[in-house]
Structure 1
Amino acid sequence: MSDSGPNPADSTGQRTSRDVLGSLIDSALHEMNRERSGLLLSGLSAGLDIGFGPLMMAVVLTLSEGGFGDLSTELLLASVYSIGFMFVILGRSELFTEHTTLAVIPVLDGQASIRQLARLWGLVYVGNVVGGLLFTLLVVLLMPGLGVVSPGAFETIALKLVDHDLGWLFVGGVFAGWLMGLLAWLITAAQETTSRLLLVFIVTGTIGLLHLPHSIAGNVEVLFGLFMSPAVSLVDYLAFLSLATVGNAFGGAVFVALLKYGHVVRGGN
């Protein structure tokens, strides 16, 4: 791509698609060039912060008279699910599912290599998963004594994700990755913090409402069940994490990065 730099906004005052693409490439290249320790710590921070969404879901299920299937409870659960994503995305920590789109685009543009992509994905992913594990351990140790979360709520949340066949986990993961890739694009296109906050709420709330397997937030959800319930096994956890991860990567890379890059470099504005 010969001109990936920012261009003026169009006649409506919005950023052009080529401008958005250029900003995404610049951001991804910046992250790819960061030190290994910086990426790992940023991923760790994101893994910790995103856990507040699943934790608040457990609190809502504990305190609510309704449950899954009740419309008002489902909407409230989807709303609090988005809290962790707000902390991560607006706090500029690194989230693997954003990079399933963000980090792929400079590779498609020829400005980065597959090796650089694998390095970024690997460091951020490991940081995210370890951060989620640490958050879960802290919650399991400290929260029961506060009396606001029941073990049954943790089990219910985990079973909602793992109680499916393997094909659903992959396909659901594709849709979750697609939505997260779309969010990365929209966040870059938005020009105000309020707009970005609303976008995070809408997109991640949709993932929560549809109970789609998001590999990083779901990592915390299923770990809750693994530690708190005999109904969730280590095999359940590993199957969820692997299939959700592959599905997320496929959805973000193909349905957002590849398609949007293709239409922009072919003159779309």
Structure 2
Amino acid sequence: MGESDQSAVAAGEQTSAADILESLIETGRSEMERETSGLLLSGLSAGLDIGFGPLLMAVLLTLSESGYGDVGTELLLASAYAVGFILVIVGRSELFTEHTTLAVMPVLDGRGSVGELARLWGLVYVGNIVGGVLFTVFVVTLMPSLGVAEPEAFGTIAQKLVEYDLTQLFVAGILAGWLMGLLAWLVTAAQETTSRLLVIWLVTASIGLLHLPHSIAGNVEVLFGLFLSPEVVFLDYVAFLALATAGNAVGGGVFVALLKYGHVVRGA
């Protein structure tokens, strides 16, 4: 944190909306200019790291005497879900759902092109998905020898995401993307690591508590079910990934990027 940030914190000042927007635009522009290999590796790292959230959920669900529907268990699982996001966001890895807002800002401001946005989205998304697949394969191969989570727990978690019908899946995906877009905005506004941790936990635990389909974390959750539960089939996985991704993009791009940019620019 720089001297200006420290003085602002000391004075109890809040970051203005215009400053948050400018920071998001600069960050988005910087990410657009990164080399292909850097974006892919960062996306891969995020896809791997975010898998620890669903893994911890399965372990806790195995250990818990209660299941979904019990308030204490639901809150505990939602907090475990948030762990993966904390690892990714504090660790500065690239997450597709953050970029549904972050990378859209330079395009709206005329400092980036649609082609650059598509390149960034594509590279980060592919890295995230491949990372999630690798994490899932690693855990599925290793879990039987560790004995810390039952296969039924992974299947139960996956079922929460594939039981939506197609319309519900898309709409719920919009809500998840909306929350992730707000997270990108709020993390930029937060001036201390502790504040950022609290914001990340609050937003992502809410996604977990509501069982909203996050395309990247959900990629791992549904893959676990696909590998370990006979009730989850490949078509469920494809439908989930396609509609959750589309919904996330709409939620972050329209309900956060477009609206936040519009109200800040018009307000100025």
User: Which bin holds the TM-score, normalised by the shorter protein?
Assistant: over 0.9
Q: What CA distance in whole angstroms lies between the structure 1 residues aligned with 2:170 and 2:146?
A: 36
RMSD of aligned C-alpha atoms? 1.4
Is residue 23 of structure 1 aligned with residue 26 of structure 2? no
Alignment match, 1:175: 175
Please name the residue that 2:139 is paired with: 139
Number of equivalenced pairs: 262
Q: Which has the higher helix share?
A: 2
Q: Distance in 2 between matches of 1:62 and 1:168?
A: 28
2:149 equivalent to 1:149: yes
Shift of 1:230: 1.2
The aligned amino acid for 2:257 is A
Q: Distance in 2 between matches of 1:252 and 1:267?
A: 21
Q: Which ranges in structure 1 are unaligned for 5 or more consecutive residues?
A: 1-5
- The residue aligned with 1:89 is 89
Identity of aligned residues (%): 72
Matched, 1:110 2:117: no
Give the Å deviation of 1:95.
Answer: 0.1
Whole-angstrom distance in 2 between the partners of 1:151 and 1:99: 33
1 CA distance for matches of 2:186 and 2:264? 15
Name the residue aligned to 1:44: 44
- Give the deviation of 1:9 after TM superposition: 6.2
Matched residue SS, 1:232: coil
Task: Please name the residue that 2:188 is paired with.
Answer: 188
Deviations, residues 102-134 of structure 1 (Å, cap 9, x unaligned) = 000110000000000000000000000000000
Quote the offset at 1:12 in angstroms.
5.3
Letter in 2 for 1:15: T
Q: Report the AA paired with residue 162 of structure 2.
A: V
Distance (whole Å) between structure 2 residues aligned to residue 147 and residue 9 of structure 1: 49
| Partner in structure 2 of residue 69 of structure 1 | 69
Preserved contact between residue 40 and residue 124 of structure 1 (Cα < 8 Å) = yes
Deviant stretches of 4+, over 2 Å:
8-12
Aligned residue type for 2:264: V
**CA apart distance, 1:28:** 0.5
Distance in 2 (alpha carbons) for counterparts of 1:61 and 1:145: 18
Q: Indicate the SS of the match to 1:112.
A: coil
Q: Which residue does the alignment assign to 2:234?
A: 234
User: In structure 2, what residue type is equivalent to 1:77?
Assistant: L
In 1, the alpha carbon distance for the partners of 2:148 and 2:177 equals 32
Question: Contact between 1:9 and 1:16, CA under 8 Å: does it hold in 2?
Answer: no
For 1:222, the aligned partner's letter is V
* Amino acid in structure 1 at the alignment position of 2:233: S
Q: What is residue 254 of structure 1 aligned with on the other side? A: 254
Structure 2: stretches of 5+ with no match in the other structure: none
Tell me which residue corresponds to 1:13: 13
Mapped partners of 2:252, 2:14: distance in 1 = 24
Tell me how far apart the structure 1 counterparts of residues 85 and 50 of structure 2 sit (CA, whole Å).
6
Q: CA deviation at 1:143?
A: 1.4
Q: Deviations over 1:141-163 (max 9, x none)?
A: 00121111000001000011001
Q: 1:57 and 1:168 mapped to 2: Cα distance?
A: 23
C-alpha distance in 2 between matches for 1:143 and 1:30 = 39
Give the TM-score normalised by the residue count of structure 2: 0.96
Measure, in 2, the Cα distance between the counterparts of 1:207 and 1:126.
22
For residues 185-215 of structure 1, what are the alpha-carbon distances to aligned partners after superposition, in whole Å with 9 as ceiling and x for unaligned?
0000010000000000000000000000000
